[in-house]
A = this chain, B = another copy of it.
Amino acid sequence: MKKIGMIGGVSWLSTIEYYKIICELSHRHQVDREPSGPPAIPEMAIESLNINKSFNMRGTPGDDASWAQFDAYFNAALKRLEDSGAEVAFIASNTPHNRFDAITKGVSIPVISIFDAVAKCCAILEIEETLILGTAPTMASASFANVLASQGIKGFVPTSDTDKSSVVDLISKMQSGDIENKANVIGDIVKNCTGQFIKKPIAVCLSCTELPLAYPDNLDDATFENNGVLYLNTTVIHATSVFEYASGLSI
């Protein structure tokens, strides 16, 4: 089992979900082995960043230079993980993946991208198009749509500015710890976007790692249905992909 490096704190709620999923997958993986002592978990190094700092370091979409501080904050953390002996790393958040190339510059261990993991999952599920709900930078950037396109999948964001604002407001509340009764809010936004889909059934990518917290009964599910909509839980898909890589299951 490889040592796993995680960049967390953005936000801390999803950091807990990632950590829990990796530990539970590890338990499940050993269930028939009857270890001597408590079940093993992978060794991990976690750099939990200050989300207030990273939020205020965000730049303007399309203006690379304006992201320099943000990129450097994550890049330095990845390098600290590498120095701590991590053999594979990941960022427990969607937003920084819009700056993936800049953030991973000079890092020599593999960094497993959430966008790659989700695009591969969509391809396996034969999803042809998906609505992307995420933070303002995720919805403004073409990064995720480009990764999806490389797997032949069309990714799009809400066309209406009101819907986009509703998603951003929702995430802001959830990142401050207010996660109760949020599934209906997401359901309403999705309903407004129904006309954007050509193919059915409707597949929605919860592309901010807090959004799946709105569905407490589905926290462990990579995908789940709610009111006829297929949701993709990016946290579970990403964490599973990291665990499989670290445990040698996916290679």
Residues of A within 8 A of B (CB): 8-9, 11-12, 15-16, 19-20, 23-24, 27, 35-53, 55-56, 80, 83-85, 172, 175-177
Min distance, Cβ A20 to any Cβ of chain B, angstroms: 7
Docked pose: A44 CA to B50 CA in angstroms: 8
Docked pose: A50 CA to B38 CA in angstroms: 9
Chain B residue contacts of A8, Cβ below 8 A: 46
Docked pose: A239 CA to B57 CA in angstroms: 29
Taking a contact as CB atoms under 8 Å apart, the answer to whether B43 and A48 are in contact is yes
Docked pose: A170 CA to B200 CA in angstroms: 50
The 8 closest A-B pairs by CB, nearest first: A37-B55, A40-B52, A46-B46, A44-B48, A38-B175, A12-B23, A38-B51, A80-B84
Docked pose: A58 CA to B56 CA in angstroms: 45
Decide: A37 near B50, CB < 8 A? Known: A16-B19, A43-B9, A83-B83. Answer: no
A76: nearest chain-B partner, CB-CB: B85
Chain B residue contacts of A83, Cβ below 8 A: 80, 83-84
The majority secondary structure among interface residues of chain A is: mixed
Chain B residue contacts of A19, Cβ below 8 A: 12, 15-16, 48
Docked pose: A45 CA to B85 CA in angstroms: 13
Decide: A50 near B45, CB < 8 A? Known: A12-B19, A56-B36, A80-B85. Answer: no
Taking a contact as CB atoms under 8 Å apart, the answer to whether A39 and B176 are in contact is yes
A-B contact pairs, 14 of them (CB 8 A): A8-B46, A9-B43, A12-B19, A12-B23, A12-B41, A16-B19, A39-B176, A40-B52, A40-B53, A43-B49, A45-B45, A45-B80, A45-B84, A47-B84
Taking a contact as CB atoms under 8 Å apart, the answer to whether A46 and B49 are in contact is no
Docked pose: A27 CA to B51 CA in angstroms: 12
With contacts A43-B48, A45-B48, A84-B84 known, what are 17 further pairs, Cβ within 8 A?
A8-B46, A11-B38, A12-B19, A12-B23, A12-B41, A19-B48, A27-B177, A37-B55, A39-B51, A39-B52, A39-B176, A40-B51, A41-B51, A44-B46, A45-B46, A45-B80, A46-B46
